[in-house]
A and B are shown apart, each in its own frame.
Chain A
Amino acid sequence: MKVIPVYIEAGITGFESPAAEYKELRLSLEELLLQHPNATFFGLANGRSMEGRGIFDGDVLVVDRAEKVTNNAVIVANFNGCFVCKIIDTKNALLLSASGEHAPMPITDADSFQIEGVVNVSFRLHKKIPSLLSCLV
């Protein structure tokens, strides 16, 4: 629930702030970046195969499980016991990379495969935060 805090005022004050009536909630990054907060989790990108879609090593991926999966979407999947971030080709059952160096990976019956969610948002910290990088160890 979003609540605008209203502070109790004692009787003795100076001039009331002329801006008091215009007070609104401050901008929230969550509100901007999370479509379905309840169904969303964060992960850390590891590898360079998605650079063509603007996802670099060490970026934070915002994974939305409630978003509809469409052809050519950037998704996170459980592929044989690992979380991977790829482009899904729903027509040919392929996992595509966004770089010239990685061949498309076919999804076969022998693979264990589940789509975990869609990545519509990722973000990068230009000054690295040590705690975040420790996930990669």
Chain B
Amino acid sequence: MFSLIDAVSFYARAEKVFDPAIRDKPVVVLTNNDGCICAVCPLARELGIPKFVPYFKVKSFLAKHNVIVRSSNYELYADLSERMMNVIARYSDRHYIYSIDESFLHFRKFTCIDDWHAYGHVIRKAVWRETRLPVGVGFGSTLTLAKAANHASKKLPGFDGVAVINDDIARKEILSRMSLTDVWGIGAKLGKKLSILGLKNGWDLATQSPKAMKSQFGVTVERTVNELNNIPCLNWDEIGQDKQEIFSTRSFGQRVTDGHALRAALSSHASTVAKKLRKQGSLVKRLVVFVSSSPHDEQYYKRSMIYEFPVATDNTLKIVEAVSHVFEAIFAPGIMFYRCGVGAVELDNSHFQQQDLFNPSINNFQLMQCYDGINHRYGSGVIEVAAAEKSKKWAMRRSFLSPSYTSKWSEIPKIIC
């Protein structure tokens, strides 16, 4: 048996844990730089506030309904996430953290449990009691079915935070009430294609022939169909698969017009991408560098350039240098830059790199090992390439930040005696 457990609107609920004054109020959380709404608590959802709208567009509506607005408090979320994962890990013999608020469990030696529904509630209660975070719990015989049950536990009427798919009746009931894109691994594009074939819901997909699906849509959809029919095809290693693309991008706290500052921001993003590449053992072959003004500006300016390395690399110095190669082509004076970023869009595996007779490697393994070692030991950013000097101008704007209740002694909650 597998299970997927995740927190219900995690960021918004996390804001309520140490702030009892807003427990019963609608709360929304904004993304980096307070740009968009990224989390909405159930009370705010009832007011019809959608996710991913720019904050300035709904600002007056939020004020009118006394909605509490918060900036993303990553320090707090990271601490609460760790606590939540620690509680969940107690309840199975195999645990895989999938994201900040989702984790899979695998029950291998749990033959004694016959009431999974009750067991789900035991986990839910413990997480609520120890962390004050509500979670949804879904059980299934494959990862995809566990994910479907998790969806049902939170979104479908008639479920109380726990859903179990352990027989064909439950499987049919839940899958037939799910849209195609609610099924794990079916994105918007694929969902559209499948609906052209006349499929309407998850159950329609489950009843397709896996072979036919493979020939039309590839092996991923074949696996999904099998998984929906109790045939396990996915495992930990695959869900934790290396990223195919690595991006570092952010909007500026204050608009940037100066070429030097923009170049420094891009260099810093390049350096972040390089670090992430090394962490997953990848090399970059093609790098995209982009800058833009705001799409809400009168004249929207957007430029991007691709840089191709002669040989794939994970060398911070070379990747930062790439920014300089393309910078003149994307910069224009007089633009109020709002956003910029760097993305590694074509990756190679560093363990199986093909050597090139005419292009010697531009990696510097020892230097990078030393560089990462120093930053790991003394704190991230202690050593950095000079081109990526930080400026306050593009530090993150977080105007509605809650206190770091669990990570700074000067900000622990006050308790009235």
Q: A residues engaging B (CB < 8 A)?
A: 36, 38-39, 41-50, 55, 57, 60-61, 63, 65-66, 76, 78, 81-86, 97, 112, 114, 116, 129, 131-132, 134-136
Contacts and interface: CB of A to CB of B under 8 A. Distances in A.
Contacts of B129: 39, 65-66
A50 B416 CA distance: 10
Contacts of A38: 83, 86-87, 130
B99 interface: no
Nearest to B22: A81
A121 to B, nearest CB: 14
Contact of B20 (A45, A82, A135, A136): A82
A107 to B, nearest CB: 15
B24 interface: yes
* Residues of B in contact with A, size category: 20 to 34
A61 B86 CA distance: 23
Q: Which 5 A-B pairs have the closest CB atoms?
A: A39-B130, A47-B417, A78-B20, A131-B410, A43-B415
B351 to A, nearest CB: 28
Contacts of B417: 45-50, 55, 57, 84-86, 97
Contacts of A42: 406, 409, 412
Contacts of A46: 414-417
Interface of B: 18, 20-24, 83, 86-87, 129-132, 405-406, 408-417
A55 B23 CA distance: 27
B414 A41 contact: no
A135 B415 CA distance: 10
Contacts of A66: 129-130
A46 B414 CA distance: 7
Given A41-B18, A61-B415, 13 more contacts: A39-B83, A39-B87, A43-B412, A44-B415, A45-B415, A55-B417, A65-B132, A66-B129, A81-B21, A83-B413, A84-B415, A84-B416, A85-B417
A42 B405 CA distance: 8
A129 B409 contact: yes
Contacts of A65: 129-132
A61 B416 CA distance: 11
User: In the complex, which of the residues A39, A47, A85 has the most CB atoms of chain B within 10 Å of its own CB atom?
Assistant: A39
Given A38-B87, A66-B130, A82-B20, A132 B410 contact: yes
Nearest to A97: B417
B18 A112 contact: no
Nearest to A134: B410
B414 to A, nearest CB: 5
B100 to A, nearest CB: 17
User: In the complex, which of the residues B20, B131, B412, B417 has the most CB atoms of chain A within 10 Å of its own CB atom?
Assistant: B417
Given A46-B415, A81-B21, A132 B409 contact: yes
A10 B409 CA distance: 41
